């Protein structure tokens, strides 16, 4: 385990984010680091979050309320969907969690640009993006002997 100053951490994360696995911070520094990493990943709408506790856990997108786009139908649902995947994983529903993750990955990799959320350069509404991702969810293949 290494203890690092948050300013130095942010510098090194922008240069080589793969250098780090789990990063544990107090809340304020976690907000800074999670926003930075969300930006590196494509935007705040792509960053899923999990707060795992003893007995209680909470799963949510990293971003805030975004009052500037509230009600416009332009927010990116990816982070909320991936947060649900984190919750499924935490609950032991590994196949379901992987199916959701794969649906998001397939949508982001295979959709024409106009079908991506606005944050990622597309024109798809929040609802349309969510529906397209949901349509990519596939049931796990049952292995036969």
Whether the predicted pLDDT of 145 surpasses 90 = no
**CA gap 68, 27 in Å, rounded:** 24
pLDDT of 142 > 60? The answer is no
The whole-number pLDDT of residue 93 equals 96
Over residues 48-104, the pLDDT tens digits come to: 988 888 889 999 988 767 788 889 999 999 999 999 999 999 999 999 999 999 999
- Check if the beta carbon of residue 49 is closer than 8 Å to that of residue 62: yes
Burial (Cβ within 10 Å: 0-12, 13-18, ≥19) of residue 139? exposed
pLDDT, residue 109, reads 95
Cα distance between the two ends of the chain: 44
Could you tell me the pLDDT band of residue 21, with boundaries at 50, 70 and 90? confident
* pLDDT of 141: 58
For residue 139, the model assigns a pLDDT of 65
Confirm if 73 and 117 have CB atoms less than 8 A apart. no
Structural domain spans, the chain? 1-41, 46-62+72-145
Q: Supply the pLDDT for residue 130.
A: 96
């Amino acid at each position: 385990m290494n203890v690092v100053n948050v300013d130095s951490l942010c510098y090194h994360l922008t240069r080589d984010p793969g250098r780090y696995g789990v990063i544990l911070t107090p809340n304020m520094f976690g907000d800074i680091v999670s926003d930075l990493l969300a930006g590196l990943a494509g935007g705040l709408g792509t960053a899923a979050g999990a707060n795992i506790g003893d007995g209680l856990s909470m799963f949510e997108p990293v971003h805030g309320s975004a009052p500037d786009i509230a009600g416009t139908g332009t927010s990116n649902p990816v982070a909320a969907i991936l947060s649900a995947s984190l919750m499924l994983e935490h609950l032991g529903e590994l196949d379901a969690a992987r199916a959701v993750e794969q649906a998001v990955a397939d949508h982001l990799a295979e959709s024409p640009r106009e079908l991506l959320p606005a944050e990622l350069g597309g024109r798809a509404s929040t609802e349309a993006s969510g529906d397209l991702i949901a349509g990519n969810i596939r049931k796990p293949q049952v292995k036969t002997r």
